[in-house]
């Protein structure tokens, strides 16, 4: 597809990857995706982002419909993931005088992509790129979704170049969201992108969105999928709704367990009763019966998550590992956790889960609680002591 004018002297020069069916290993993409790039022409010329390797020739041809490569002054790198940085090297080969501008935090990333530091400027928040008649204002948006991420606001045309923010994977013929065929649920696609790519960074997103509030945005131009003109703020508002702090004001400790013969379950219920008496909401869930989406919500809503596993074959059981893996799909860093479980003779499962959680930057109680086979009265009174320690651990901030 050729270059498309999106505002006065502003062009889409991206490419469409219609056949892509899985993005970044983790994300099935029914409608392919686009790698959007933009050209902004003032007296000077800025190119915003490149495209994935393999699409370089089509991308360069799109640019050349508008301007010779030698006329480009700046390449603005919104973030260095290879779907957007994959053509930088070839671009610089053909136009070696281009100055690369990126977030200050992205400098090292760009250097690691190019394995050189030629013509590279790192920018601070609210820096300007003056093109003469067109001005790009930099908004650093770290962790949307890499640490190096930034957006630009083009004041003259009220366009926000938002990088992966507000993106969706869709590569049809339409360029704008309001031109999509009726069967495409764009709200769903933008939400799906948020849920898969952005959700682990919601606390950063909350802060970044505040920076956009002062801008009068008429068009959002993301790095994947449709551009938004008539619904420019719709998806900014969706991101706001999706990134609220669900744990705020909720004194909740979620308890999750798996249990083959009910031994670990007895401990789960005792901890729940105790923490409930201590003033916490304590939903208890059998991991094997809990929907993954609900489990992720419960992790986000809770100050702490207490996880019970029996030991099978010197390990925690698979459904517990699957549950623990959900922690990296939500913004769980800094939450608290503890583990418990029944075992027969070696009992490694609980400690292995604790260690994995600690590796994911969860604050974990140092010692798991374990009971041998059917918890005895003595062991249940130890559960009461353990519950008190959990309450103190949570309350100590
Ligand atoms: C297939 C299987 C493998 C097991 N492997 C271990 C083990 O390696 N170490 C251990 O301490 N207990 C082992 N056990 C014993 C369980 O941990 C013990 O029965 C425990 O009480 C089960 O708790 P639950 O009823 O909550 O599932 C194993 C049990 C089963 C069924
Ligand atoms: Fe990305
Ligand atoms: Fe991307």
Question: What is the DSSP secondary-structure string of 168-206?
Answer: ----SS-SBGGGS-TT--HHHHHHHHIIIIIGGGHHHHH
Per-residue confidence (pLDDT) for residue 230, from 0 to 100? 85
Query: Residue 82: CB within 6 Å of ligand 1?
Result: no
Q: State the distance from the centre of ligand 1 to the C-alpha of 311, rounded, in angstroms.
A: 5
Among all bound ligands, the one having the nearest atom to the CA of 222 is 3
Determine contact, residues 38/66, Cβ cutoff 8 Å.
no
Each residue of 283-299: b (16+ CB within 10 Å) or e? bbbebeebeeeebbebb
> Residue 262's pLDDT is what?
98
Which atom from ligand 1 is nearest to the alpha carbon of 346?
Answer: 11
Query: What is the residue with the minimal CA distance to atom 25 of ligand 1?
Result: 261
| Helix intervals (H) in the chain | 56-66, 82-85, 88-94, 107-114, 186-193, 202-212, 234-242, 263-277, 292-301, 318-325, 349-359, 377-395
Neighbours of ion ligand 3 (CB under 5 A): 83, 164
Phi, psi of 74 (to 5 degrees): -125, 140
312 lines ligand 1 (CB under 6 A): yes
Does domain 4-242 correspond to CATH entry 1.10.460.10? no
Task: Tell me how far CA of residue 62 lies from CA of 96, 216, 303, in angstroms.
Answer: 19, 29, 50
311 lines ligand 1 (CB under 6 A): yes
Phi and psi of 107, rounded to 5°? Answer: -55, -50
- Whether the CB of 259 sits within 6 Å of ligand 1: yes
Give the model's pLDDT for residue 116.
85
54 lines ligand 1 (CB under 6 A): no
Q: Where are the domains of the chain?
A: 4-242, 253-395
Residue whose CA is at the smallest distance from ligand 1 atom 15 = 344
**Residue 116 beta carbon below 6 angstroms from any ligand 1 atom:** no
Asked if the domains 4-242 and 253-395 are classified in one and the same CATH topology, the answer is no
For the chain, count helices (H), then strands (E): 12, 22
Q: Is the distance from the beta carbon of residue 263 to the nearest atom of ligand 1 less than 6 Å?
A: yes
The token pair that represents 190 in the structure block:
């933008």
Query: Across the strands, what pairs with 207?
Result: none
Distance 85 CA to ligand 3 centre (A): 9
- Among protein residues, the one with the nearest Cα to ligand 1's atom 29 is 312
For ligand 1, whether the C-beta of 344 sits within 6 Å is: yes
For ligand 1, say whether the CB of 318 is within 6 Å of any of its atoms.
no
What does the alpha-carbon distance between residue 290 and residue 110 come to, in Å, rounded to a whole number?
42
Q: Could you tell me if 157 and 10 are in contact, meaning their C-beta atoms sit under 8 angstroms apart?
A: yes
Ligand 1 close to Cβ of residue 237 (< 6 A): no
User: From first to last of its 397 residues, what are the pLDDT tens digits of the chain?
Assistant: 699 999 999 999 999 999 999 999 999 999 999 999 999 999 999 999 999 999 999 999 999 999 999 999 999 999 999 999 999 999 999 999 999 999 999 999 999 999 987 789 999 999 999 999 999 999 999 999 999 999 999 999 999 999 999 999 999 999 999 999 999 999 999 999 999 999 999 999 999 999 999 999 999 999 999 999 988 899 999 999 999 999 999 999 999 999 999 999 999 999 999 999 999 999 999 999 999 999 999 999 999 999 999 999 999 999 999 999 999 999 999 999 999 999 999 999 999 999 999 999 999 999 999 999 999 999 999 999 999 999 999 999 7
* Annotation: CATH topology of 253-395: Rossmann fold (3.40.50)
Q: Which ligand is nearest to the CA of 144?
A: 2
C-alpha span between 338 and 367 (Å, rounded): 8
Res 397: pLDDT:
75
- Atom number, ligand 1, closest to the C-alpha of residue 347: 11
Which atom from ligand 1 is nearest to the alpha carbon of 261?
25
CA of 164 to the centre of ligand 3 (A): 5
User: From ligand 1's centre to the CA of 70, what distance in Å?
Assistant: 68
**Any atom of ligand 1 within 6 Å of the Cβ of 374:** no
What is the rounded CA–CA span in Å between residue 215 and residue 158? 8
């Amino acid at each position: 597809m050729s270059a498309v004018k999106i505002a006065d002297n502003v062009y889409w020069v991206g490419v469409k990857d219609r056949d892509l069916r899985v993005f970044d290993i983790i994300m099935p993409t029914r409608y392919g995706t686009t790698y959007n790039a933009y050209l902004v022409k003032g007296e000077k010329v800025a190119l915003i982002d490149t495209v994935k390797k393999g699409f370089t020739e089509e991308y360069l041809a799109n640019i050349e419909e508008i301007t010779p490569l030698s006329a480009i002054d700046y390449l603005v790198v919104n973030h260095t993931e290879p779907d957007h940085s994959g053509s930088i090297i070839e671009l610089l080969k053909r136009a070696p005088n281009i100055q690369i501008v990126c977030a200050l935090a992205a400098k090292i990333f760009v250097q690691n992509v190019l394995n050189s530091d030629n013509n590279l400027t790192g920018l601070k928040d609210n820096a300007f790129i003056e093109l003469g008649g067109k001005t790009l204002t930099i908004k650093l948006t770290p962790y949307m979704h890499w640490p190096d991420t930034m957006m630009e606001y083009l004041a003259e045309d009220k366009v926000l170049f938002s990088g992966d923010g507000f993106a969706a994977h869709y590569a049809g013929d339409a360029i704008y969201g309001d031109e999509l065929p009726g069967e495409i649920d764009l709200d769903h696609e933008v939400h799906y992108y948020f849920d898969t790519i952005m959700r682990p960074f919601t606390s950063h997103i909350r802060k970044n969105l505040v920076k956009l509030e002062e801008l009068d945005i008429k068009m959002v131009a993301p790095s994947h999928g449709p551009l938004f003109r008539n619904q420019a703020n719709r998806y900014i508002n969706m991101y706001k709704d999706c990134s609220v702090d669900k744990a705020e004001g909720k004194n909740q400790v979620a308890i999750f367990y798996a249990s083959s013969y009910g031994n670990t379950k007895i401990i789960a219920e005792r901890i729940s009763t105790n923490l409930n008496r201590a003033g916490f909401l304590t939903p208890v869930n059998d991991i094997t019966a809990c929907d993954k989406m609900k489990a992720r919500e419960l992790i986000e809503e809770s100050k702490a998550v207490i996880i019970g596993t029996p030991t099978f074959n010197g390990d925690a059981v698979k459904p517990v590992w699957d549950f623990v893996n959900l922690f990296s799909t939500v913004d769980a860093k800094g939450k608290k956790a503890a583990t418990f479980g029944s075992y027969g003779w070696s009992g490694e499962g609980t400690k292995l889960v604790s260690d994995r959680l600690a590796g994911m930057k969860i604050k974990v109680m140092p010692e798991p609680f374990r009971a041998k086979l059917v918890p005895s009265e003595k062991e249940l009174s130890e559960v009461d002591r353990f519950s008190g320690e959990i309450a103190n651990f949570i309350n100590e901030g």
